Amino acid sequence: MTDIMGAKKAIAELRQEIERHNRLYYVEARPELSDFDFDRLLEQLIAIERQFPELVTPDSPSQRVGGTITREFPSVLHREPMLSLSNTYSLAEVEEFYSRVRKLLLFEGVAEQKMVAELKFDGVAISLLFRDGLLVRGATRGDGRQGDDITANLKTIATIPLRLDGRLVADLQGEVEVRGEVFMRKDDFERLNESRLEEDRFANPRNATAGTLKLQDSAEVARRRMCFVAYYLKGLKDESTAHFSRLELLSRLGFFTGDHYRLCQEVQDINAFIEEWAGNRWQLPYETDGVVLKLNDVRFWEKLGATAKSPRWAIAYKYPAQQARTVLHNVLFQVGRLGTITPVAELEPVLLAGSTVSRSTLHNFDEIERLGVMIHDRVIIEKSGEVIPKVVRIIPEERPADAEPILPPMHCPSCQSLLVRPENEVSYYCPNEEECPAQIKGRVLHFASRNAMDIQTLGEALVEQLVARGLVKDPGDLYFLQEPQLEKLERMGQKSAQNILRALEKSREKSYEQLLYALGIRHVGRATARELSQACPSIDALRQSSEEQLATVPDIGPVVARSIIDYFAKPSWPQLLEKLRTAGLPLCASEPREQVNRNFEGLSVLFTGGLDRYDRQAASELVFERGGRVVGSVSKKTGMVVAGHDPGSKLQKALKLGVRVVSEDEFEAML
């Protein structure tokens, strides 16, 4: 296309069509195009804009594909504090809240009281700032007073308009703030987890969303396809406009608002809404964990005021964890990459929290003993975080006469080797490390996982074929695969084979630190790999270090040091090293990354429990970038413990040892 007028016309038509399909897919849930056809439209737009760069505008759909690398997220001050809501699991407390607000309104001379009931999205709160209709900034909630500027990442989300509908801007002031939640749809979450190694999978969509928003590469954020639901609008010319009307206006402005909010006249209407969605919410394509109630008349929001953290004009009712009864029919035994045998319960399929559950991990035989569970038992299961199913307890009074004890297996289910159980350990292991197909497959998948060498095209089914056909016996073999070999595999053509080889080529650019983690040395996680890369800046220096030298490295100690020595003593190591060296992988450290500041210098930090605004990797990176270290266990030398929700035994140990414990808000303030 050489005519600029023709280009303008084509760009306008493509932008309108793309935004229409975005709305059909994300807001109205009735897509008309396949993902492939939608991507074709976007590629056409990008191609024309590359030819005519002067026609690119900030609100073009092409700006959603990402590509910006953000090394740090500057802090921004919210115009008004972003408060969190008070939570309750009790309908009686909801009625108390309703009565309390009614009394306060009667004191103000207002007899009528209406509440807006909205579904509570399980996401991450953010604030969007529009100036003259154009999105200029997006920020996290942070500590409520200030958050992080993540505009580049938020622009990749299709349900965030880059420009507000011009026909409605006349009702708004020059500067407008929209608040809401970023979340991930169930199908997009499942697709993301399927692409990751099992041990690196996110526990629930909320954790996946929190971690994604803090990624430095906005192109990766775009690939994960998140959504935004708007529930707050500030900046109307008529600020007396009721909250329900504001939600309707947000929808007309192009935002997704959840669709299912309702204006409630009496407390009975509120209870009916809560009861209705207790069951119906499982049919929705996204996670909801409760109902938010807000006073409709915004004129009294300021008069009712707020506590230190929560407004008095709103409350969140949270649904209790869902449980179900089922039967444990059998126990299978899975083999991990380190030879660990994990018992997995086969259950009578049962509907729980919107999906059919037929399997649940039993972790190890200590957990089986604690539960007292047997084959054919009637059991209660629930979903941890409403995603991961677990057996909570048995129903002993319903134990059938044919119940059988769950006995440890004698042989590996993958290679039939005799299993061993090391002293003082809870798990059984397969000792046939070099030849066991399940262990080889696990090591290759770990090597290719996102936090290791990030070879995205290597899925479980493909690796299983490569191992079964003898093409891959260790991760080093991946780099010597040929296109004809790959093309002969099931469901594999020339294009797929070329994509795999390209992904392998790209993985050569990863860091030495990532390679150390990818090797899968027992007890060496991401934090330990970082410490090792700094203490021993080459693979040769690391393997030549003595056990005593390694034990002096921070966060290593004698157990990890012994594991590293044992790894490099394996007969297979020289052959693997030669393959990695020949493949050109990073066997030594590059220049260290510049620190953001020194706020955590000399401080060892432990995270326990779930964080609301970060996944564990993102939080750890924040510590590393500020000179600190992340450790995996509590001791007197631990500098600080960051305790999220459901923190577990590490918090109790920290308190007992007198280690400093901080909340997520305090941690974020220290950054």
> Annotated catalytic sites, by residue?
120
Place of tokens 């070329």: 498
Q: Taking Cα atoms as reference points, which of 400, 125, 129, 117 lies closest to residue 263? A: 117
Distance CA(618)–CA(131), nearest Å, equals 30
Where does residue 444 rank: exposed (0-12), middle (13-18), buried (19+ CB within 10 A)? buried
Q: What is the H or E stretch that residue 245 is in?
A: helix 243-252
Distance CA(60)–CA(13), nearest Å, equals 12
Torsion of CA 68, 73, 75, 77, to 10 degrees: 40
Would you state the structure tokens that stand for residue 271, as one six-digit string?
């209870």
Distance CA(217)–CA(229), nearest Å, equals 23
534-537's contacts with Cβ under 8 Å and 24+ in sequence apart are 534/589, 534/592, 537/512, 537/588, 537/589
Instruction: Quickly list H helices, 570-671.
Output: 573-582, 616-624, 649-657, 664-670
Query: Per DSSP, what are the bridge partners of residue 671?
Result: none
From the centroid of its chain, how far is CA 270?
32
What backbone torsions phi and psi does residue 347 show, to the nearest 5 degrees?
Answer: -110, 155
Burial letters for 142-181: b for 16+ Cβ neighbours within 10 Å, e otherwise? Answer: bbbebbbbbbbbbbbbbbbbbbbeeeebeebeeebbbbbb
Taking CA 582 as the corner, what is the angle to CA 576 and CA 586, rounded to the nearest 5 degrees?
Answer: 85
Instruction: Quickly list H helices, 372-459.
Output: 437-448
Would you state the structure tokens that stand for residue 167, as one six-digit string?
């026909």
Q: Are 313 and 294 in contact (CB under 8 A)?
A: yes
Torsion of CA 52, 53, 54, 55, to 10 degrees: 70
Pairing, β 640-643 against β 661-662? parallel
Q: Taking Cα atoms as reference points, which of 12, 78, 101 lies closest to residue 297? A: 101
Distances (CA, A) of 571 to 263, 464, 574, 657: 71, 24, 7, 42
Distance CA(138)–CA(134), nearest Å, equals 12
Distance CA(162)–CA(659), nearest Å, equals 46
